[in-house]
């Protein structure tokens, strides 16, 4: 990012950003595990449920970069975030009032335009403020991870013994809090040189370093597909209790939080590609070992590697975009990464993992090892090609 300007009250920017992350991920923490439960209670078939859940995954490949491009053209970040949060809140309100798959699909498609875009635009605003005011991104972002755990645990506690209707109410209230947090965000603008046109998606995708980054970051995140989709099923089949399974998942997020808490020194010492390399190497270990053990202490050790496979990958990606994106293209770069790389590659990895798990069970994790290997190669190429400066577009 070049010449970012934050025209805003300078008080407590870190606390306001942390509140935004907490509100956003609390909503996601309820939405991800429990929204399918609410949809199933409406009488949709398993096939229809799969269509509804996949709509969010695939539509953002197009909509996230498009919305991010609009944000770059406007220059400001705060107002677009407020509008996205308000639109998400408004779209969720009529869900209980409609009946039938077609109506649910229409609302889901509308939600899939607005809700997924909040993350890349919010990350872009946060990183603009972080780099302008020399804040610690990791210690701000960790509040999102803490809130995600709180949302998931709190949502489960609220649902216990109650009607599925409580899920909708909880998500709507969490989204109302997200709107409030967006209203309190500091403004962030990225200056575009006078007379220039903001860089488009096609120009960024012609830069090899940026493509290597997308492959590395997207595949490292995509390599979690079997874990996200089938770990609880496999561990339960192995005789591991639900409480232990929940603790294993929580342990991974706690490890991620600890990395974020102490990331400032690491970010100052290592370049962003190094984080992606570390994440890919950890993926080689984690996904190669997971299918061959159901011993809880071993699984606990492998869960700690989530700090690298997710946390380090996220830090590497966010700081690469912050340092490498040209003026007027930071939100667009963030949108491409969130939509096309993480969304698209993770979607393909989920299809691959699901197909393989049906045939070979937990050995499907070895395909995720393969994705980590490709990600490692791309990260090494990125480290070689990128000089640590703003990308010089037009040069391949």
Q: Consecutive 10-residue runs of the chain (396 residues): their mean pLDDT? A: 44 87 91 81 81 77 86 84 96 93 92 91 90 90 91 76 84 94 84 55 86 96 89 87 83 94 94 98 98 96 97 96 86 87 83 87 95 98 93 64
Same domain as 232, residue 374: yes
The whole-number pLDDT of residue 305 equals: 98
* Domain end residue (candidates: 167, 191, 215): 191
Domain count along the chain: 2
Q: 97 lies in which domain range?
A: 1-191
Same domain as 277, residue 128: no
Same domain as 233, residue 131: no
What is the 3-class SS of the chain, one letter each residue? CCCEECCCCCCCHHHHHHHHHHHHHHHHHHHHHHHHHHHHHCCCCHHHHHHHHHHHHHHHHHHHHHHHHHHHHHCECHHHHHHHHHHHHHHHCCHHHCCCHHHHHHHHHHHHHHHHHHHHHHHHHHHHHHHHHCCCHHHHHHHHHHHHHHHHHHHHHHHCCCCCHHHHHHHHHHHHHHHHHHHCCCCCEECCCCCCCCCCHHHHHCCHHHHHHHHHHHHHHHCCHHHHHHHHHHHHHCCCCHHHHHHHHHHHHHHHHHHHHCHHHHHHHCCHHHHHHHHHHHHHHHHHHHHHCCCHHHHHHHHHCHHHHHHHHHHHHHHHHHHHCCCCCHHHHHHHHHHHHHHHHHHHHHHHHHHHHHHHHHHHHHHHHHHHHHHHHHHHHHHHHCCCCCCCCCCC
The whole-number pLDDT of residue 23 equals: 94
Same domain as 354, residue 263: yes
Same domain as 244, residue 364: yes
Contact 164, 41 (CB under 8 A): yes
Same domain as 110, residue 231: no
Same domain as 203, residue 146: no
Q: What is the CATH number of the domain that holds 113?
A: 1.20.1250.20
Same domain as 306, residue 212: yes
Query: Within its chain, how far is the Cα of 150 from the centroid?
Result: 17
Same domain as 96, residue 235: no
Same domain as 217, residue 71: no
pTM of the model: 0.84
* Domain end residue (candidates: 191, 220, 249): 191
* Domain end residue (candidates: 143, 175, 191): 191
The whole-number pLDDT of residue 54 equals: 72
């Amino acid at each position: 990012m070049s010449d970012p300007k934050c025209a805003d009250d300078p008080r407590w920017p870190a606390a306001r950003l942390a509140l935004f992350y907490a509100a956003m991920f609390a909503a996601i923490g309820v939405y991800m595990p429990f929204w399918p439960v609410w949809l199933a209670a409406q009488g949709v078939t398993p096939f229809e449920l799969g269509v509804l859940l996949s709509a969010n995954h695939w539509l953002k490949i197009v909509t996230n970069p498009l919305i991010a491009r609009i944000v770059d053209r406007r220059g400001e970040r705060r107002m677009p975030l407020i509008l996205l949060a308000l639109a998400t809140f408004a779209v969720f309100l009529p869900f209980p009032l409609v009946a039938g798959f077609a109506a649910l699909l229409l609302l889901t498609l509308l939600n899939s335009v607005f809700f997924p875009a909040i993350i890349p635009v919010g990350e872009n605003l946060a990183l603009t403020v972080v780099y302008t005011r020399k804040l610690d991104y990791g210690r701000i972002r960790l509040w999102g991870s803490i809130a995600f755990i709180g949302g998931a645990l709190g949502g489960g506690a609220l649902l216990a013994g109650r009607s599925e209707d409580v899920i909708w109410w909880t998500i709507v209230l969490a989204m109302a809090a997200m709107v409030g947090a967006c209203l309190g965000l500091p403004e962030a603008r990225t200056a575009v040189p006078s007379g220039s046109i903001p860089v488009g998606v096609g120009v960024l995708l012609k830069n090899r370093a940026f493509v290597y980054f997308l492959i590395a970051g997207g595949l490292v995140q995509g390599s979690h597909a079997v874990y996200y989709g089938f770990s609880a099923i496999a561990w339960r089949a192995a005789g591991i209790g639900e409480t232990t399974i929940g603790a294993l998942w929580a342990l991974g997020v706690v490890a991620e939080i600890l990395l974020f808490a102490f990331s400032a020194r690491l970010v100052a010492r290592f370049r962003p590609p190094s984080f992606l390399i570390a994440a890919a190497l950890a993926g080689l270990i984690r996904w190669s070992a997971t299918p061959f053990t159901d011993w809880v202490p071993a699984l606990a050790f492998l869960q700690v590697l989530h700090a690298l496979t997710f946390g380090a990958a996220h830090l590497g990606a966010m700081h690469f975009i912050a340092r490498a994106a040209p003026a007027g293209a930071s939100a667009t770069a963030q949108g491409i990464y969130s939509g096309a790389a993480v969304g698209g590659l993770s979607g393909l990895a989920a299809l691959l993992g699901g197909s393989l798990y049906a045939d070979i069970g937990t050995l499907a994790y070895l395909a995720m090892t393969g994705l980590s290997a490709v990600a490692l190669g791309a990260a090494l190429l990125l480290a070689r090609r990128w000089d640590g400066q703003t990308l010089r577009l037009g040069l391949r």
